[in-house]
A and B are shown apart, each in its own frame.
Chain A
Amino acid sequence: MSTTIEQDFKVSIIVDHDKCIADKGCRICIDVCPTDILIHDAGDGKIKMAYDECWYCLPCAHDCPTKAIKVEIPYLLR
């Protein structure tokens, strides 16, 4: 995808883009997510939550080598 993706719902996966090393090719969080909702936005190079289908389960955060991910409880459940 060449354009930047706008997120149109309240995301529950917060990525600290200063810590994230996606520019070095890291895709671990995308790899491990069971519901496959994280993507690398080729437009702005950022990791984003593309679908509001999160099980708030944590593999993305636990396996991130730079601890760049914070998982929140999806808004409807809080």
Chain B
Amino acid sequence: METQHIEVDILVVGGGTAGPLAAIKAKQKAPHLRVLLLDKANVKRAGAIAEGMDSVNNAVIPGYATPEQYVKEITIANDGIVNQASINAYATRSFDMIKELDGWGVKFEKDETGDYAVKKVHHLGSYVLPMPEGYNVKKVLFKQIRKVGVEVSNRLTTTRLLVGEDGRIAGAMALESRTGDFVVIRAKAVVLCTGAAGRLGLPSSGYLFGTYENPTNAGDGYSMAYHAGAELSGLECFQINPLIKDYNGPACAYVTGPFGGYTVNAKGERFIRSDYWSGQMMLEFWRELEGGNGPVFLKLDHLADETVTKIEDVLHVTERPTRGIFHEGRGVDYRHDLVEMHISEIGLCGGHSASGVWVDENARTTVPGLYAAGDLCNVAHNYMLGAMVFGKIAGEDAVDFIEGKEHALVDQEQIENERERIFAPLAREDGISPTQIEYKLRRMVNDYLQPPKVTAKMEIGLKRFAEIRADLDHMKARNPHELMRAMEVHAILDCAELAAKASLYRTESRWGLYHYRTDFEGRNDAEWFNFVEIRKGADGQPELFKRPVPPYIYPIDKSELYGYDAMRIESEELAA
């Protein structure tokens, strides 16, 4: 167990989706700079897109949608609480990114005339671009990483950021999860792309790694940004998804919808207007289950055999390709069986909902030189392409930021404290395993934070979390692999506490099921039409405050703003 020292110009943490773009774009803009891309896993197969993706969920393609339409759709989908400038920064670069990926070799669906074949899945506009041969996305990105000369380092679990004496970012510290080396990386700018907090709630299967998100994304980035003093935003706007029961992966509505698949209740009736994932849709899903109309299913058995084959060729090949193995094990065939769906455990994710590190339209966090992109940042509903675009924005802006700057000075104590924190579980003679603590913590998250949110429950949850925090001093790891898990438990606990505090702070309900508070039914725009922010206060405790929603670039009439409320199909419509 040695200490390694690395010095680079720009450090990109997380080589999933946003990270590769940040690194490639920084290196393309300034080939003379040292750009290091590191990952807890292996960049070649890391992140949400390790096995490709089956569609672009939010393509803004001329002829189908304008940036204005898209920004309005997401504003409405997110109940008005967005920074339109950030959504617009994505929307105006969306098409260029698709063309660039196309040029690199990513395959998107096109019609007979060679135009992109965009489908309507959202409530209002058309933004879904299928990728039936999307399994090669990661390979394509990796080729570009090699081509432009980005340095890559794998199996490094970053645990804390280094902050300079002048408050500027100074680098990061990491654990090599095989050798147990401690790695100190000095950098002039850091781009955090560590994905969602995907190991927050416990999947109902009880399997710790049976998560929707790639389980490498344990929430480390949220914790690191918080401890570096950055502002986190919307942590009360949980990520909750409609998934294949037990398998806990998407079905996926964006693939089957355009082919004619849809969601039904136990009576075989449709009850939601749009399968696009939103808190409002999830609320109707939950009501259906709670109201005795469940289980809820994905229905494909009415489709023609060749249509089902086409669907299987996507769902069983790309993104989560073990879907086919799972169905086979249960004897489920889309041709004559419904697919049982359920509501996932909670997570934090900017890319699916809106909970993340606060960034502006330049991907800048509130710490100078620190950027965030992808699921980790709070740009609502940004998904895969948004992760790439924000990665690009961050990488390019970081090049400008470091111009003429030296590495920030850091005091040695920061480094020593972190070394001590990381290696404590290894040094202990005996104690509680990281797995046991993680299981208990995530079970408590389910018990006390899964919506509907109840004040008294969340308060008890905070007490349990505090007790678990004391247990961290007794955590025992037997090797570097377990030590990585131990560090993840620290991050998961931070996320759980911050999510509970943000949820208690916003005394209204918003975003459908994502922030449904039974003691505060309904929205309260007079008091809560703003972001809820959280950062580490001077006393080391979380500090909560409101951040106003910046004036809209594209004004939306109040009568349209809550258009996603009309998600339920009324019975008269069904009869008609």
How far, in whole Å, are A10 and B321 apart by their CA atoms in the complex? 21
| In the complex, per-residue mask of A47-78: 1 if CB is within 8 Å of any chain B CB, else 0 | 00011111111110011000000011110111
Q: Is A5 engaged at the interface, CB distance under 8 Å to the other chain?
A: no
- Using known A-B contacts A36-B41, A36-B177, A57-B51, determine if residue A74 contacts B214 with beta carbons closer than 8 Å: no
Partner of B41, one of A35, A56, A63, A77: A35
Across-interface contacts of B44 in A (CB, < 8 A): 31-32
Question: Closest approach, in angstroms, between the C-beta of A9 and any C-beta of chain B?
Answer: 11
| In the complex, per-residue mask of A31-46: 1 if CB is within 8 Å of any chain B CB, else 0 | 1111110000000000
Q: Is B4 engaged at the interface, CB distance under 8 Å to the other chain?
A: no
Are A76's CB and B207's CB within 8 A?
Answer: yes
Are A72's CB and B325's CB within 8 A?
Answer: yes
Across-interface contacts of B51 in A (CB, < 8 A): 57-59, 62
Q: Is B155 engaged at the interface, CB distance under 8 Å to the other chain?
A: yes
Across-interface contacts of B246 in A (CB, < 8 A): 77-78
Partner of B211, one of A33, A50, A55, A59: A55
Chain B residues within 8 Å of chain A by Cβ, number: 33
Partner of A34, one of B42, B206, B321, B326: B42
Are B215's CB and A55's CB within 8 A?
Answer: yes
Are A58's CB and B322's CB within 8 A?
Answer: yes
- Using known A-B contacts A36-B177, A57-B51, determine if residue A77 contacts B216 with beta carbons closer than 8 Å: no
How far, in whole Å, are A50 and B177 apart by their CA atoms in the complex? 14
Are B207's CB and A77's CB within 8 A?
Answer: yes
Across-interface contacts of B41 in A (CB, < 8 A): 33-36
Residue of B nearest to A74 (CB): B207
Partner of B481, one of A36, A73, A76, A78: A36
Across-interface contacts of B481 in A (CB, < 8 A): 36, 50-51
Across-interface contacts of B155 in A (CB, < 8 A): 36
Q: Is B45 engaged at the interface, CB distance under 8 Å to the other chain?
A: yes
- Using known A-B contacts A58-B51, A76-B206, A77-B207, determine if residue A32 contacts B214 with beta carbons closer than 8 Å: no
How far, in whole Å, are A55 and B213 apart by their CA atoms in the complex? 9
How far, in whole Å, are A63 and B51 apart by their CA atoms in the complex? 11
Question: Closest approach, in angstroms, between the C-beta of A42 and any C-beta of chain B?
Answer: 14
- Using known A-B contacts A34-B214, A53-B215, A57-B214, determine if residue A73 contacts B42 with beta carbons closer than 8 Å: no
Across-interface contacts of B210 in A (CB, < 8 A): 55-56, 74, 76-77
How far, in whole Å, are A72 and B207 apart by their CA atoms in the complex? 14
How far, in whole Å, are A33 and B39 apart by their CA atoms in the complex? 12
Across-interface contacts of A56 in B (CB, < 8 A): 210, 322, 325-326
Question: Closest approach, in angstroms, between the C-beta of A34 and any C-beta of chain B?
Answer: 4
Across-interface contacts of B262 in A (CB, < 8 A): none
Q: Is B46 engaged at the interface, CB distance under 8 Å to the other chain?
A: yes
| In the complex, per-residue mask of B394-424: 1 if CB is within 8 Å of any chain A CB, else 0 | 0000000000000000000000000000000
How far, in whole Å, are A34 and B199 apart by their CA atoms in the complex? 14
How far, in whole Å, are A59 and B44 apart by their CA atoms in the complex? 10
How far, in whole Å, are A36 and B46 apart by their CA atoms in the complex? 11
| In the complex, per-residue mask of B206-225: 1 if CB is within 8 Å of any chain A CB, else 0 | 11111100111000000000
Q: Is B457 engaged at the interface, CB distance under 8 Å to the other chain?
A: no
Scan residues 225-254 of chain B and give those whose CB is less than 8 A from a CB of chain A: 246-248
Question: Closest approach, in angstroms, between the C-beta of B53 and any C-beta of chain A?
Answer: 13
Are B209's CB and A35's CB within 8 A?
Answer: yes
Question: Closest approach, in angstroms, between the C-beta of B551 and any C-beta of chain A?
Answer: 42
How far, in whole Å, are A8 and B210 apart by their CA atoms in the complex? 19
Scan residues 181-215 of chain B and give those whose CB is less than 8 A from a CB of chain A: 205-211, 214-215
Partner of B215, one of A31, A35, A50: A35
Scan residues 310-345 of chain B and give those whose CB is less than 8 A from a CB of chain A: 320-322, 325-326, 329-330
Q: Is B99 engaged at the interface, CB distance under 8 Å to the other chain?
A: no
Residue of B nearest to A50 (CB): B481
Question: Closest approach, in angstroms, between the C-beta of B215 and any C-beta of chain A?
Answer: 5
| In the complex, per-residue mask of B144-179: 1 if CB is within 8 Å of any chain A CB, else 0 | 000000000001000000000000000000000110
Are A55's CB and B209's CB within 8 A?
Answer: yes
How far, in whole Å, are A63 and B320 apart by their CA atoms in the complex? 16
Residue of B nearest to A70 (CB): B325
Across-interface contacts of B388 in A (CB, < 8 A): none
How far, in whole Å, are A78 and B246 apart by their CA atoms in the complex? 7
Question: Closest approach, in angstroms, between the C-beta of A60 and any C-beta of chain B?
Answer: 9
Are A57's CB and B50's CB within 8 A?
Answer: yes
Across-interface contacts of B47 in A (CB, < 8 A): 34
Across-interface contacts of A52 in B (CB, < 8 A): 209
Across-interface contacts of A57 in B (CB, < 8 A): 50-51, 214, 320-322
16 contacts between A and B (CB under 8 A): A33-B41, A34-B47, A35-B41, A50-B481, A55-B211, A55-B215, A57-B50, A59-B45, A62-B51, A71-B322, A74-B210, A76-B205, A76-B207, A76-B210, A77-B246, A78-B246
Binding site for B on A (CB under 8 A): 31-36, 50-59, 62-63, 71-74, 76-78
Closest 10 pairs (CB-CB, A-B): A34-B41, A59-B45, A32-B45, A76-B207, A56-B322, A53-B209, A77-B205, A76-B205, A77-B246, A34-B216
